[in-house]
Amino acid sequence: MSEQLPLGLRLRASARFSSFVAGPHDELYRQLQRIAEGSLHGPVYCWGADGSGKTHLLQACCYRADSAGYSAAYLPLREHRQSAAEILSGWEGFDLLCLDDLDAVAGLREWEEALFHLYNRIAAGAGRLVISAGAAQAASGVRLPDLVSRLSAALVYQLRPLDDEQCLQAMRLRARQGGFDLPEETGRYLLKRLPRNLTAMMALLERLDSASLAAQRRLTVPFVKAVLELD
């Protein structure tokens, strides 16, 4: 997928639709698969708190589009906030463009104008667009009226926190796909001590997996307690 990473970015190997627990987001889950596969033109605007799964879904879109034979690009705006807005030039050439963390550049006039023109170039062509942000359009901090108008025309979905059972399902699914086992008892123990942040949860699972491999131990509650130094 090197053609989709012009800025030297890397997608997480685990960021696939198959590793995402849709929970209350079944419609968004299905719509993003459709836009990735070319049967929906979009644009789609999804918003939610940090750790709600936005980045996972946008990167999953890129993987799915690539497997369907389309060119796809993922751009995390938060990581390029200090760059010149001119870096947005040329991205309309991809079949699918996923812009993560719109609110990171909201309020910056040069960025907003560049995004407005990019949006128009994509709309004028055959490209498809998925945007994520931490808040709905009206609360995103975007000031350029024309850009607000464009964003308001998108399909809008909010990502809500998963409940305990869905979080447990997500952790155990990620463990299985990573080739290790997370016992239900251990998963429930972790749920009592972790914030409802999918990004943090998955990062912790990777840490525990590494510790388990090094010690040749299963992820039992006593082992996890020792690794994380918890009571």
Same domain, 47 and 96: yes
CATH number at residue 141: 3.40.50.300
**Which amino acid makes up residue 140?**
S
User: What pLDDT does residue 9 have?
Assistant: 58
| Percent of the chain whose pLDDT exceeds 70 | 95
Q: What average pLDDT does the structure give for the chain?
A: 90
User: What pLDDT does residue 195 have?
Assistant: 77
**Which amino acid makes up residue 180?**
F
Same domain, 72 and 154: yes
Contact 42, 155 (CB under 8 A): yes
Taking residues 162-184, report their average pLDDT: 89
Q: pLDDT, tens digit, for every residue of 70-127?
A: 999 999 999 998 889 999 999 999 999 999 999 999 999 999 999 999 999 999 998 9
Same domain, 21 and 133: yes
Instruction: Tell which of 158, 177, 199 closes a domain.
Output: 158
Same domain, 149 and 185: no
Same domain, 65 and 89: yes
**Which amino acid makes up residue 12?**
R
Instruction: Tell which of 158, 183, 214 closes a domain.
Output: 158
Question: Which phi and psi angles does 201 have, rounded to 5°?
Answer: -60, -45
Class of residue 138 by CB neighbours under 10 A (exposed 0-12, middle 13-18, buried 19+): exposed
Instruction: Tell which of 133, 158, 183 closes a domain.
Output: 158
Q: How far apart are CA 37 and CA 26, in angstroms?
A: 17
Q: pLDDT, tens digit, for every residue of 57-74?
A: 999 999 999 999 999 999
Same domain, 99 and 208: no
Same domain, 50 and 150: yes
**Which amino acid makes up residue 35?**
I
For residue 218, pLDDT over 60 is answered with yes
CATH number at residue 191: 1.10.8
The structure tokens 């128009």 sit at: 120
**Which amino acid makes up residue 45?**
Y
Same domain, 7 and 104: yes
Quote the radius of gyration of the chain (alpha carbons, Å): 19
Same domain, 69 and 146: yes
Class of residue 141 by CB neighbours under 10 A (exposed 0-12, middle 13-18, buried 19+): middle
Q: How far apart are CA 221 and CA 50, in angstroms?
A: 28
Same domain, 140 and 175: no
Same domain, 75 and 137: yes
The range of the structural domain enclosing residue 80 comes to 2-158
- In total, how many domains does the chain have? 2
Contact 230, 193 (CB under 8 A): yes
Same domain, 177 and 154: no
Q: How far apart are CA 216 and CA 72, in angstroms?
A: 39
